Amino acid sequence: AGTGTFFVGGNWKCNGTKESISKLVSDLNSAELEADVDVVVAPPFLYIDQVKNALTDRIQISAQNSWVGKGGAFTGEISVEQLKDIGCKWVILGHSERRHAIGEKDEFIGKKAAYALSNGLGVIACIGELLEQREAGKTFDVCFEQLKAFADTVPSWDNVVIAYEPVWAIGTGRVATPAQAQEVHVAVRDWLKKNVSSEVASKIRIIYGGSVNGSNSAELAKQEDIDGFLVGGASLKGPEFATIVNSVL
Ligand code: G3P
């Protein structure tokens, strides 16, 4: 950790029931969370209101996706305006599951990010390579191309957190080594310096996601350019998520 306030997000993905979420919220409410960490959880849309009403204000709420423009006749979508209305401060965009399972493309993701930022949501902008891309030596190329799609559209990087999530590490139990994650985070910062500005490069938080848990987070957090985490599976367990939040110390 080195840049800005440590940032830990819990991406609950498509998990939970009213009952399990109520238990998770009560575990989070009673957890001791270090003061100097930004903590965010992203429940499934359906449960955002339940979570917002019960969760301590200490933890902010993110959506897992948002529509690319103003709401209206877009069946099945949720607009940025609605997310703000219900109390969301953030949205996760470009997650690998939306890129690879749903087929979202760079350009569409870039437009979503621009719309969300212009309309007052913070964006957790996800990038990351597939295993075959890493094995073919294309990790940086893939990450830079995904970054470029954000750089081409976003009005400002002030409310952006970049999440590097190597796809091979997501939900697999195969976490990137601290050195592997650090190497990409440095490359991302360097790309931003060359293509956006030194100021953005030095201020932006770059967080790591992919099989982060309560046992590996402290080692990862020691890396200079790992400024937090985006946690999937382990964020469904309140006490373990709290351990990850507190791992910066
Ligand atoms: O967005 C978080 C994520 O994709 C990582 O998931 O389950 O490997 O922590 P997980």
pTM of the model: 0.98
Ligand 1 geometric centre to CA of 196 (Å): 28
pLDDT above 90 for 3 = no
Q: Is 77 helix (H, G, I), strand (E, B) or coil?
A: coil
What integer pLDDT is reported at residue 119 of this predicted model?
A: 98
Give φ, ψ of 102 to 5 degrees.
Answer: -105, -20
Across the range 68-93, mean pLDDT stands at 98
Distances (CA, A) of 163 to 7, 26, 77, 81, 243: 10, 27, 23, 23, 19
215 CB neighbour count, 10 Å cutoff:
13
Give φ, ψ of 95 to 5 degrees.
Answer: -60, 145
Q: Of the candidates 170, 74, 154, which has an alpha carbon nearest to the alpha carbon of residue 122?
A: 154
Across the range 84-95, mean pLDDT stands at 98
pLDDT single digits (tens) 201-238: 999 999 999 999 999 999 999 999 999 999 999 999 99
What integer pLDDT is reported at residue 244 of this predicted model?
A: 98
Strands 228-231 and 205-209: parallel
Ligand 1 geometric centre to CA of 235 (Å): 9
pLDDT single digits (tens) 101-140: 999 999 999 999 999 999 999 999 999 999 999 999 999 9
Strands (E), the chain: 6-11, 37-42, 60-63, 90-93, 122-127, 160-164, 205-209, 228-231
The minimum-distance atom of ligand 1 relative to the CA of 211 is 8
Select from 161, 165, 220 the residue to mutate for testing ligand 1; criterion: most ligand atoms less than 8 Å from CB. 165
Across the range 188-194, mean pLDDT stands at 98
Q: What residues does ligand 1 touch, defined as CB less than 6 Å away?
A: 11, 95, 165, 170-171, 209-212, 230-234
Query: Among all residues, which ones are annotated catalytic?
Result: 95, 165
The residue whose C-alpha atom lies closest to atom 10 belonging to ligand 1 is 232
What integer pLDDT is reported at residue 196 of this predicted model?
A: 98
Q: How far is CA 24 from the centre of its chain?
A: 19
Ligand 1 geometric centre to CA of 73 (Å): 32
Structure tokens at 101: 């399972």
Q: Is 152 helix (H, G, I), strand (E, B) or coil?
A: coil
State what percent of residues in the chain have pLDDT above 90: 98
ipTM of this model?
A: 0.98
